[in-house]
């Protein structure tokens, strides 16, 4: 049977919302039925999701910004920080610049 990625995604999304292992198994039994290939693929996705620690469920980190004395917002403060090494910077002056 050909792989239906939409079906795999639909079953995964239902199963990932299950609150415990028993509820997840019920979803997989109901949605996959006798399709062992579908169940295997969805279980692999669920295992990867569980191993990830749910980092995709958390919001991204906000960009770094500050406000200087004049009230102007500054971004990218990491590149403006004092240099502590002799490595070339990435904003010009690189050994790769002409």
For residue 32, what are its two tokens?
A: 């996959």
Q: Report the number of distinct structural domains present in the chain.
A: 1
Predicted pLDDT at 56: 62
**Is there a domain that residue 64 lies in?**
no
Backbone angles phi, psi at 73, to 5 degrees: -80, 135
Tens place of pLDDT per residue across the chain (98 aa):
677 899 999 999 999 999 899 999 999 999 999 999 999 999 999 999 888 876 666 666 655 556 666 666 555 444 444 555 555 555 555 455 44
Q: Report pTM.
A: 0.55
**Is there a domain that residue 67 lies in?**
no
Domain region containing 20: 5-57
The sign one gets for the Cα dihedral 71, 75, 80, 82 is positive
Provide the β-strand partners of residue 73.
67
**Is there a domain that residue 24 lies in?**
yes
Distance, in Å, from the CA atom of 12 to the CA atom of 31, rounded to the nearest integer, reads: 10
């Amino acid at each position: 049977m050909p792989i239906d990625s939409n079906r795999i995604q639909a079953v995964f999304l239902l199963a990932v919302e299950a609150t415990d292992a028993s509820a997840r198994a019920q979803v997989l039994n109901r949605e996959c039925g006798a399709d062992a290939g579908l169940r295997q693929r969805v279980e692999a996705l669920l295992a990867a999701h569980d191993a990830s620690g749910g980092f995709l469920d958390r919001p991204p980190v906000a960009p770094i910004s500050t406000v200087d004395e004049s009230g102007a917002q500054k971004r990218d403060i990491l590149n403006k920080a004092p240099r502590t090494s002799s490595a070339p910077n990435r904003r010009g002056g690189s050994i790769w610049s002409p």
